[in-house]
Each structure stands twice: as structure tokens, then as C-alpha cells.
Chains A and B, each alone.
Chain A
Amino acid sequence: MFSKSFSAAIDGIEAFVVNVEADVSDGLPSFDLVGFLGSEVKEAKERVKTAIRNSGYTLPPKHITINLSPADVKKEGTAFDLAIAIAILTASGYIPTDYLKQTLFIGELSLDGKIQRVNGILPLICAAQKQGLKRCIIPKDNAKEGAVVSDVDIIGVESLSQTVEYLSDMIVLQPEFVDVSGLFLQQEERNTLDFSDIVGQVSAKRAIEVSVAGQHNIMMIGTPGSGKTMLAKRIPSIMPELSFEESLEISKIYSVSGRLDNNRVLILERPFRSPHHTITQSALVGGGRCPRPGEISLAAHGVLFLDELTEFDNRTLEVLRQPLEEKVVTISRLYATYTYPANFMLVAALNPCKCGYYPDRSKCNCSLQQIKQYIGKISRPLLDRIDICVETIPIAYKELTYGKSQESSSVIRERIKEARKHQLNRYQKSGKYFNSQLSPSEVKKYCSLGEKEQKILEQAFTAMNLSARAYHRILKVARTIADLEGKECIEKHHLIEAIGYRGVDRKYWGDA
């Protein structure tokens, strides 16, 4: 007898529905699994056989063939176990065929018939919803995660026998429910880190505000203990709240990498990822034999903080170049190409020199060459993608104890939202969102200067030995500063502030 159930497989952070076909017919007793399967899926044979037996059903001594279609796409993972078992049981007559209609099965079986959690539930359920399936039967441990998706009934099950009983209408299980809008309302209270914790650092805070407003990448240079990490950690708190679509996209990435569970069904805060500097290339951008998203994807819509930038392996940093430009990262394997989102904001921190105290010559005895070498570890193309550079200084004791009240994150966030609105209006047609994304021709179009401002820029170029590369960066940043003030045109003081943010043009750094 033939039967068919539905399951789904991950492809990048998306998924597609897989038909699990089972045929149980006369012949020599055998069990064959086909359909371009990874080794985990092939092993399902033993798990399914044993789980069925241990759940109290007998497998008939017949010729059993399982096919997972589309049969030309490689399938990995253990999520097909349940669907295979159900297809066999249906074909063997334990469950009426009609009961499987419109139903997706996901779950890993253990030998005693219990159903284990799997990674990537969210994209799997999304695929089912897109396909128009009405019901998903998934592991109890994943149920809340799946319930985020609307229009689909999510049934959490704990064992194979429970599933069969449910399908045969012997027991009733209620669909899981998660109050998504309620979760979003709680978002505000979640942020425990706030900019008001930071005393002083006016110029660094301002630079961060500008960089978040225009999604510019930022680099903080400062002596050890001057508060770089503290500042960076608070950047997500001034970013606008996540929209549902953004949250869903991030949650899919986290789901695929197994970072969601019943207590955390959606990612509601902007991610802040701070990988250690020993990280490998594939851990940073994603990769592996069956590719998994890397840190840059986990930081999507949030902040990727690279502390001690100069300590990172050079080749690891270079792989950031393409994702920084394209906002996605594509990983190619022989059988498939995976695309993960990578629209993060890069925040880098480093010391000014090896000992960390330049230009305070009473403490720093690094030679100019050493200093240049230290900063020079970062390649020019990468530096070119960092629009804003700011220096932090240690806070004096006096300042720490002054107790002036500091601006809170929510106040800054409101200003940033306003500035982002201006950008959105301006770039409506071009499909861009932020000033940082402008191409040179667009810079010309949107960042035009008045005669007076033109003159200042010219003056700055000659007086300060600016490189031509710095030109576009300055204009883009100046545009963002003007947007923060809600100004139509770039004015003199916007320009001057923007010029102040180009710290490590190499000509300049260390050229005392």
C-alpha cells in the first residue's frame, strides 16, 4: 500500500516542503530509503524501525520503500524521522490515509519512540504556511517556537504513539498559542543596558548616535579601559525597535542555528554579537560542511562588535568586505548555494598602538613605525568601509563623581528614528534605506553642497591632507548629521563634524 506525508527541509534560512512517500508491498522483507539523502537521514532507517517497534506497533515483514521528494535536492538532518514513521504506519494500515492531509510532520525519533527537538523549526513552519498546509505536528519542545507563525495549527507531541493516537482521534491535543503582539509590547522593558549608565564620553556618544542614524560602520580607538566595550554594548539600545518582519528574519537565523527554545520563541532585541578575536573565517561568515550561519548573520539587524580589531586574523577580517557591501553573504557548496542575511552594523574597537597609550608620550614608547604597523594591520579596503572613527579617553575621577544626569537611550532613540524617517523619505524610489548605502553618483545627487560649504571642504582637503577616498565618506556622514537636525541642506557645522570623524587615514595617523 502506498501513502504520503509531508515534512520540510532547511535551505539556508529558508525551507521547502518535502513529500515523504512510503510504499509497503509484498516481496522479500526489506527497508530502503531513497531521495539524495545525507548520512543522518539514512540513519533514520534504524531509528524509525526501532521506534515503531518500541511504541507497540509491528512492522510487517514486507518490502518497504521510502522516497523523499524532490529527489534531486540533498536532504540533511534528523527532522524527517517522524514523517517517515507516520508514512510507514499509514501504509501499514495503522492510520487512515485521509488523516494525513494538510499536515506537516517534523521531529527526531529516539529508539523508545520519544520525539526530540530539532533546529530550524521557524523556517520549516513558514514553508508549510506558504505551501498552504493547515496543521503541523512538531516536537513538544519546539512547539512554542513554531506557534509564532499565524494561520497554521501547531500541535506539540511527545512520542510516536501519542501522535498516532492523536491522528486517529483517540485523544485531543490543543494547538499551541503564543501572544506575539504581547511579546513585542514587553520589548521596551527588556533592555537593561542604557546609555545613561555612561558618564561623560560626549563626543563618542555623539559619534555613535550619528553612526546608528545612518547605519554607518564605526571604529572606536582608545586606551585600555576608556569605555569602548561599554559604549558598544549599549548601541542596540538606541536602535529603533525591531519590526515583526525583522524579528522574524533574525529568529529564523537563530532557529536554524538552534538558539531558540520554548522560553525564547522570537528574537525581540537587536542582536549584539561580540566574537572573540581568535574566531575563524567560517565561524564569522558562516560555513561548514552543511553550512550554518556565522556571527555576521547572527548579528543581522543588530551590531557586530569586533573588540581588539587588530588582533583578528587578517584573512578573517578580509572576508567581511563582501558582506559589508552586499548586506548578504553567499556560501557556495558543490550541491547548493546558501544565502544568509548580513545587514549588520560593524562596530570595531582597538587600541591606538601596541601599548595602548599613544599619543601620550610619557607612557608610550612605541616608535612611529610600530604605531603605523599596528594600525596598518587593518587593510585599506576594510578601513574604507568604516565611515566614522572616534577616540575615547579615560574618564577622570572628578567626572565620574559629578553625577550630572545623562541622556537615556530612549531619548537618543527617538532622534535616530526621526533621522531614519528623513532618509527613508528621500530614498523611497532607489530602494535604499540609509545614507551609508549611497553610491558615489547618489552622493553627488543627494549630498550637494552650497558654495560656502564647498569652500570649506576644499580648505580642509588642503590644510589636512585628506585623501580622495575620504571625500565620499565625509559627505555621507555629513548628510546623516544634517538629517539628525532635520535639515534639508548640509551646512557648515555638519561638514566640520563629519570631517572630524575621519581618524585613521593612514597619511595622518602617527604623523606627529
Chain B
Amino acid sequence: MESVKKNRIQWYWISKEEGIGHKTIALLLTTFHSIEGVYKAKKEVVLNLNLKEEVVEYLSNKKSLEELEKEYDKMIDQGIYFISIEDKEYPEKLKKLFDAPWFLYYRGELPKDDLPSIAVIGARNCSAYGSDVAYYFSKELSKLGIQIISGLARGVDGMAHKGALSSGGKTYGVVGNGLDLCYPRENYELYQELNSKGGILSEYPLGSKALPYHFPLRNRIIAALSDGILVVEAREKSGTLITVDSGLEQGKDIFAVPGKLTDELSKGCNNLIQSGAKLILDPEDILIELRNQYSSLLGRKTKVIESSREDLSEIEQQLYSLLSHQAIHVEELLLKSNMNQGQVLETLFELECKRYVKKITGQQYVKVL
């Protein structure tokens, strides 16, 4: 077995036991100097390290390298790849993290180090407005070749991935479970798409479930992989803020989309802005920060968000101005516009076909960015 592969398989061996945490691996490496040393360690020495029983058990009763290789090759056949911190493909951005993951499982590919990347994150139970904003920003940013990083969760995360995919950009999801599982299940289609149009990353071995304490840990990877973090919608106490904290520790730019004062779902964002995050009104606001670092972005612009549309007839304009990003019922439009029901429905239909408005339930409409 060539030495690179042998090294990787030894790493694969240690990654398989979830009970061996980040700190334990650090301790083992300082004790035995290399991963090979850890693999070959004698039980007597391991016993002296004051480790948990099951860890000692795992370290002393190990599978043979041949057996592990078979397992490893089988995993590769499933399209799940594995790298350790010692591999040269390991993302540079991640190495800067003080507790950089020792290894990563991934599907598809890894984010490119030389391309700009932005994390787009936010609430799971987002509003129609939040999902629209996430979609729009990801779409516009990825048009310029910016990689969109997110967490493949419900709500904002999912919409960020979808937005990037819609303009043919690359997008990467960092998840908190083994890559042979799909969580949340309704994102299965997205999972499949990311396989070929980006990548899915995880530091958890196959079969590992999405446990609550995994998420704060995977958030540090999201923050590390990106150059800046865009927060779309977050409640006052939101898991999203963990990613932001982690990003701040790593010196990343924090961007936040403002919301109404009274809006529970925007409290987190507004608080961030108050404490110094950049207020984002347009994708351009993010680009300005990235241009110094990435020459590929020089001279490139994004579409400016339009609040009015030009190609509307008078009646469409009238109705469009009554709509907002908050759901409005047809009934309310009827009252405010003085049109009859037929007219309102017909105009809304035209607007919907032009994709300026969107129906979010049976009879409630919102504007689309």
C-alpha cells in the first residue's frame, strides 16, 4: 500500500470512532507523534493516558489495514470521499481554524481555495421574505463565481443552495451527520443536486445521526470555509448566531440583512447590525468587501434590487404598489384597490406569470425580489 493511502486509511480508522473527540486526537498525536504511531500504539501505553474505556477498547482492538482498506474502497464506490488534515487537497481556509477538523468526509467536491465564498445562513422557520432574500442573494452572488456555503437545513439554508443552483453556481453544504444519511429528509432532492453541482461536507463518520450538539460544531466549518457570512433572518436567540460568533473569532466579515423593528425573525439581524455587522441592502454591498481579495471580481457588478418595475401596465402598477414582502390576502387587495374581484385576480395572474409576485398559500401573495 502506498504511503499516502496508508496514512489516509489510518486517519479513516480513527475517524470512525465518534467517541474519540478532537482533543483526544490532539493528545494521541502529541503522545505518538504521527497517526501511524497512534495506530500502532501498544495497549499498555494507551492505558496510561486516562482515556475513556470505550476509546481504549477501540484503540487496542483494531481492524487490520487490509480490512480497513476494503471498507474504505467500498465507501469511495458509494461516492463518499475522505481526506485528512495532512492531505494536500485539504482546504487552506479550514486549516486556519484553531480546532480545524482532523478529517473530512465529502460528496461531490471540496470548495476551491482560490475562489471567493460567502456563507448564507438564517432561520429554519423563515418567512416568505427571508426565503426570497436568501434565494435572490445567492443567485446573484453565484452568478459572479462566488461559492455559496450553507448548512443544507430547512428554511434559509435550503433556499440559499437553491438560489445558487438556479444560476448554475457552485454551492457547498456542511452537515452535522454521516453522509450516508439525509437530514432533513425533505432536502433529498437538494442533496442529489449538490452531489454534482457542488459538494456536501461532514466531519462525522458514516451512520452518525444528526445530533443536536453536532450543529454548533459544523457551524464553525461553515464560518471557516467562507470569506464572509450573510445572515438573512435570525431570531434573537438563534443557532445562526453561533456561526456568526465563530466567524468573528476567525476574523470573517459579517453581513446582515435588516428587518422591521417589530419583526421577531429579524431581531437577530438587527442586533448584529447594531453591534457592527455590515448592513446589506444589495449584493453589491458584499462585493465591495471581496474585491480587494479576489481580482476575479474586479469590474463585475450585480443587478441592483429594483423596488419598482417598469414594464407594468397602469393597473398592474397600482396593484403591485399595494403588495409587499409580507403575505397579503386577495380580500385585502380588493378593499384597498377598489377593483372588482375579477380584475384583481387577472392582474395578479399577469404579475405572477412575470414572476414579480408569488402566491404563498391559496390566496395570499408576496412580492418577489
Contact = CB atoms under 8 A, between A and B. Distances in A.
Interface stretch (B9-17, B48-56, B168-176, B334-342): B334-342
A499 B342 CA distance: 12
A194 interface: no
14 contacts: A200-B331, A359-B364, A361-B127, A361-B128, A366-B125, A391-B329, A459-B353, A496-B346, A496-B349, A500-B330, A502-B362, A503-B363, A512-B128, A512-B360
A362 B263 contact: yes
A367 B264 CA distance: 15
A306 interface: no
B262 to A, nearest CB: 7
A448 B364 CA distance: 29
Contact of A391 (B127, B345, B346, B361): B361
Contacts of B345: 493, 496-497, 500
Minimum-distance CB pairs A-B, first 4: A503-B362, A361-B127, A512-B128, A391-B363
B125 A509 contact: no
B182 interface: no
A388 B330 CA distance: 16
A208 B360 CA distance: 22
A372 B185 CA distance: 13
A399 interface: yes
B265 A361 contact: yes
Interface in B308-339: 327, 329-332, 334-335
A369 B186 contact: yes
Interface in B78-132: 124-128, 131
Interface size range of chain B in the complex? 35 or more
Nearest to A498: B345
A393 interface: yes
A454 to B, nearest CB: 15
B184 interface: yes
Contacts of B335: 200, 399
Interface string B348-362: 010011010001111
A504 interface: yes
B198 interface: no
A361 B363 contact: no
Interface of A: 200-204, 206, 221, 352, 358-362, 365-369, 372, 389-391, 393, 399, 456, 459-460, 463-464, 492-493, 496-497, 499-504, 508-509, 512
Interface centre among A359, A360, A508, by most B CB within 10 Å? A359
A367 B128 contact: no
A201 B361 contact: no
A391 B364 contact: yes
B155 interface: yes
Given A360-B327, A362-B263, A493 B346 contact: yes
A280 B72 CA distance: 56
Contacts of A496: 345-346, 349
B268 to A, nearest CB: 14
Contacts of A201: 331
A203 B364 CA distance: 12
Given A358-B361, A493-B346, A497-B345, 19 more contacts: A203-B330, A203-B334, A203-B363, A221-B361, A362-B262, A362-B264, A365-B125, A367-B124, A367-B154, A393-B331, A460-B353, A463-B355, A464-B352, A493-B345, A496-B349, A500-B330, A500-B363, A512-B128, A512-B131
Contacts of A499: 349
Contact of B155 (A368, A504, A508): A368
A360 B329 CA distance: 11
A206 B154 CA distance: 36
Interface string B230-247: 000000000000000000
Nearest to B154: A368
Nearest to B123: A361
Interface centre among A204, A360, A368, A389, by most B CB within 10 Å? A368
Nearest to A206: B341
Interface centre among B263, B341, B360, B363, by most A CB within 10 Å? B363
A493 B342 contact: yes
A496 to B, nearest CB: 5
Contacts of A389: 362
A430 B262 CA distance: 59
A369 B158 CA distance: 13
A20 B327 CA distance: 71
Contacts of B125: 361, 365-368
Given A202-B331, A362-B262, A463-B353, A497 B362 contact: no
Interface centre among A202, A206, A366, A509, by most B CB within 10 Å? A202
B103 to A, nearest CB: 31
Contacts of A358: 361
A372 B125 CA distance: 13
Interface in B270-309: none
A361 B352 CA distance: 22
Nearest to A372: B186
A403 B126 CA distance: 38
A390 B361 CA distance: 10
Given A369-B154, A503-B363, A393 B329 contact: yes
A393 B264 contact: no
A236 to B, nearest CB: 24
Interface string B151-169: 0001100000000000000
A464 to B, nearest CB: 7
Nearest to B184: A369
A393 B361 CA distance: 12
Nearest to A388: B362
B134 to A, nearest CB: 11
Nearest to A402: B335
A456 B353 CA distance: 10
Interface centre among A352, A361, A399, by most B CB within 10 Å? A361
A390 B362 CA distance: 7
A111 B335 CA distance: 69
A503 B263 CA distance: 27
A299 to B, nearest CB: 25
Interface string B209-243: 00000000000000000000000000000000000
